[in-house]
Amino acid sequence: EAQVTQNPRYLITVTGKKLTVTCSQNMNHEYMSWYRQDPGLGLRQIYYSMNVEVTDKGDVPEGYKVSRKEKRNFPLILESPSPNQTSLYFCASSFSPSGTFYEQYFGPGTRLTVT
């Protein structure tokens, strides 16, 4: 089954404790992206990757890191989480975001709480 998976689905952590949220897709997509969803703000892009070893900042990259060492994986790293990073996080992938639109497939989401 074609899908985007994220782990963990739920995470409660404390300020300053490094964490990684994993994202994996099995569709051989070049493009992957991370969004955060906050009430009243919709979804905002954190980082994106056009292909392996190619990443760039989205609208709200502060406090986050990403890496793209393999085509299928795109982990989101919070090196020193803070309470304002409490949010619902979505990973997405597609064949390519530009030109003719290819549908972006979204993962099920990771709900992160930082206390």
Partner 1 sequence: GDSVTQMEGPVTLSEEAFLTINCTYTATGYPSLFWYVQYPGEGLQLLLKATKADDKGSNKGFEATYRKETTSFHLEKGSVQVSDSAVYFCALINQAGTALIFGKGTTLSVSS
Residues of this chain that interact with partner 1 (CB under 8 A) are: 4, 33, 35, 40-45, 48, 50, 56, 58-59, 90, 92, 97-101, 103-104, 106-109
Q: Which of 4, 7, 25 is nearest to 107 (CA)?
A: 4
CB of 40 to partner 1, least distance (A): 6
* SS3 of residue 83 by DSSP: helix
CB of 43 to partner 1, least distance (A): 4
Q: What 8-state DSSP symbol labels residue 96?
A: -
Cβ-based nearer residue to partner 1, 100 or 115: 100
CB of 17 to partner 1, least distance (A): 26
Cα-to-chain-centroid distance, residue 54:
15
Cβ-based nearer residue to partner 1, 62 or 103: 103
Cβ-based nearer residue to partner 1, 19 or 88: 88
What percentage of the chain's residues is helix, strand, coil (to nearest 5)? Answer: 5, 50, 45
In the numeric block, which tokens belong to residue 53?
């070893």
Whole-number Å distance between alpha carbons of 22 and 20: 6
Whole-number Å distance between alpha carbons of 86 and 66: 18
Cβ-based nearer residue to partner 1, 56 or 79: 56
CB of 99 to partner 1, least distance (A): 7
